């Protein structure tokens, strides 16, 4: 039950943060920001939370970051773009995916570096 509550409270916080970013930056730019920033943070969390409790890891990764990022909004945008232009849709998907993977890798490296120092 404790782990479920950890995910739930993290999810509430993450979705509120995502909404704030969308309100500030707009849905288009906001989606890029939350997915890339979220990927960076999940990389840091993966490096830094290894020795923390399951509840802490679930709160941060599944709850907070999982609800902060938005794969479903990305998918909906991607299909909308594919309908108007195959090339634009493919570039969008490749760009978002590549940027998110690079951000996660950089976050992991940053998290590992900070853990050593």
Instruction: Assess contact for 61 and 42: CB atoms under 8 A.
Output: yes
Pull the structure tokens for residue 106.
Answer: 């950089």
What 3-state DSSP class applies to 53? coil
Instruction: Assess contact for 81 and 88: CB atoms under 8 A.
Output: yes
The answer to whether 63 is a known ligand-binding residue is no
Instruction: Write the CB contacts of 46 (distance below 8 Å, at least 6 apart in sequence).
Output: 61, 107, 108, 111
What's the CA gap between 76 and 36, in Å, rounded?
Answer: 17
The answer to whether 66 is a known ligand-binding residue is yes
Binding site for Na(+): what residues are annotated?
A: 66, 69
Annotated binding site: 66, 69
């Amino acid at each position: 039950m404790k782990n479920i509550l950890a995910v739930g409270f993290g999810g509430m916080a993450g979705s509120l943060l995502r909404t704030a970013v969308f309100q500030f930056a707009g849905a288009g730019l906001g989606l890029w920001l939350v997915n890339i920033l979220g990927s960076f943070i999940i990389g840091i969390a993966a490096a830094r939370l290894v020795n923390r409790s399951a509840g802490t890891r679930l709160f941060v990764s599944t709850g907070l970051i999982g609800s902060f990022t938005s794969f479903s909004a990305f998918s909906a945008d991607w299909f909308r773009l594919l309908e108007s232009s195959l090339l634009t849709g493919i570039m969008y998907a490749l760009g978002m995916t590549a940027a998110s993977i690079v951000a996660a890798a950089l976050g992991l490296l940053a998290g590992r570096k900070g853990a050593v120092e």
